[in-house]
Structure 1
Amino acid sequence: MSHASEGKAGTRSESTVELEDSSKPLLEQLLATQAEAVRWARRTDGGYTVELSGGRPETLRLRDPSGTLCATLHLGPEGVRLEVKATEIHASASERVRLEGDVVELAARQTLALRSGGAIHQQADGPHHSTAFEHRLEATHGEVALRANDDVALDGERIRLNSPPVTVPAHLRRSSPSSED
């Protein structure tokens, strides 16, 4: 947890370096500030660097051979926080993979794919909202069943039952050039 204080230049956290009010030039003050001290560092045979920095929280960092930060592990009184930046992340378990939190978010810049060799179950104790440029629901080997405790409402420009598909021009079917039909 970061504590902030209000000053004449705005807010700052405890980790922010405070410059002195002095007659020294700003550049000289900046060069005199101390970065978070690295207590321990090791380079791997592959050129990666592992660093442990002191302070609150203690921080363990992994850098690639070019110095780019790949992973950070913050070890603080409020718990552990993990940040990973990678080209690909693979997680595998023989039994179960579980993500749990007050809020869980998945964000894909292009495509999000959920696949199961068995069933997929969705459950929400609150409302379930789904919004997309276009929705398609297909049962390849069986029925589609809708059941509601109350009314079922269908609202559309046309409600078509057992009708041949209408050919819609491609430019109206796509939300962007990268979308799939």
Structure 2
Amino acid sequence: MEAEGLDWLLVPLHQLVSWGAAAAMVFGGVVPYVPQYRDIRRTQNADGFSTYVCLVLLVANILRILFWFGRRFESPLLWQSAIMILTMLLMLKLCTEVRVANELNARRRSFAVLPAQALPLASGAVECIKMVLMWTSGDAFKTAYFLLKGAPLQFSVCGLLQVLVDLAILGQAYAFARHPQKPALHAVHPAGTKAL
């Protein structure tokens, strides 16, 4: 009798949690790209972002939408794909604009190239770790969502593969952050003399 009396609270609470999970599914995938978009826009430097990430996510999400026409699945997964496609197109647009502007500026001025320093490389690796951690948490949530909601098996398998790839990338980024490659400060000529 007491459980029946709590139905007025449990049913709306369950619905609220379900809506929250659906909203997290729809918008959670783009969250890692928000700080990266802002950093690229602020620094006008897109060198740390690979457009291959956009390519892979565009293809994957377009295929998911096409899959929906053959076998219907939950609408939050469909909306998540549409929003991810829009996000990747925005990232590509920004990266293209920044890279074109940087190339034009580089051609306009000529300057000597100084040896690369290890600190900016380590800094970039730390930034990469933060990004991959956000990817991993998002992919883990997405995979759990697929499993709990009974999404087609292909989604769960792809989610698990994404988490494994994220963990491999995270391991590489962590190893690089701990032991960055030290650049050569000088070159040795074949004759044995050193030059800057």
TM-score of the aligned structures, taking structure 2 as reference length: 0.22
Query: Which structure shows the bigger proportion of residues in helix conformation?
Result: 2
Higher strand share: 1
Question: What TM-score results when the alignment is normalised by the length of structure 1?
Answer: 0.23
